[in-house]
Amino acid sequence: MNDKLNLIETIAKQDKFSTFSRVLGSSGANAAFSGEGEFTVFAPTNDAFGKIPEARMNELLNEPNQIKLKALLSYHILPGKLMTAHMGAVSARKSVTGQNLTFIDSNGLKVNGAGIQARNIEATNGVIHQVDTVLTPPPIAAGAAASVSSASLAATTPETQPTATPAAIPAAAAIPAGSVV
């Protein structure tokens, strides 16, 4: 019998990821890895979410449809399974949002400067790596943000996007440049 759970169940089972699990569900970002294929999830701890100013977190949680929160959380998800042993060989990989995550191995393995703590937590549909900071997507070009209509943002609800593709979460839904996350 296989004792492994899927990514959603594995994240939900660990108390240190309870905030991440809750906001993945409320925003619908967990739909990005509920479809076919394997995924890599960089899961921020409860302490990582504690670093976000309360006003900023409330803004993300209280936004209608939580589009910015969904984009922020989706940035933590890579298509495919990437084990830490292979991160040193790649300098960057695209998340399901289409934006790059960067990897360095200097004074410990890091993704976008955040320390990777618990590593290679396997699930039936991928792998989870614990990070000590909520990852912030890079700023997007103003022209790209203007080109995304509210209709395309509305089209990214879990009901209409059951599987993850790079286009599933528009880059324009990312947190604006200069925002503190």
Domain annotation covers residue 103: yes
The pLDDT, as a whole number, for residue 176 is: 40
Residues in CB range of 78: below 8 A, 6 or more apart = 39, 40, 41, 42, 93, 94, 95, 96, 101
Domain that holds residue 112: 7-173
Cα distance between residue 109 and residue 75, in whole Å: 18
Confirm whether 178 is domain-assigned. no
Tell whether 1 is covered by a domain.
Answer: no
Low-confidence ranges of the chain (pLDDT < 50): 1, 142-181
Q: How many whole angstroms separate alpha carbon 40 and alpha carbon 35?
A: 13
- The C-alpha atoms of residue 78 and residue 135 are separated, in whole angstroms, by 13
In our burial notation (b when 16+ CB lie closer than 10 A, e otherwise), range 7-25 reads bbebbbebebbebbbebbe
Q: Are 133 and 115 a contacting pair, CB within 8 Å?
A: yes
Asked if residue 180 is part of any domain, the answer here is no
The rounded distance, in Å, linking the Cα atoms of 168 and 166 is 6
Distant-in-sequence, close-in-space partners of 122: CB < 8 Å, separation ≥ 6 = 4, 128
- The most distant pair of C-alpha atoms in the chain lies apart, rounded to whole Å, by 52
pLDDT of residue 109: 93
pLDDT of residue 107: 86
User: Is 79 within the bounds of a domain?
Assistant: yes
The pLDDT of residue 140:
65
Domain count along the chain: 1
The predicted pLDDT at position 2 comes to 57
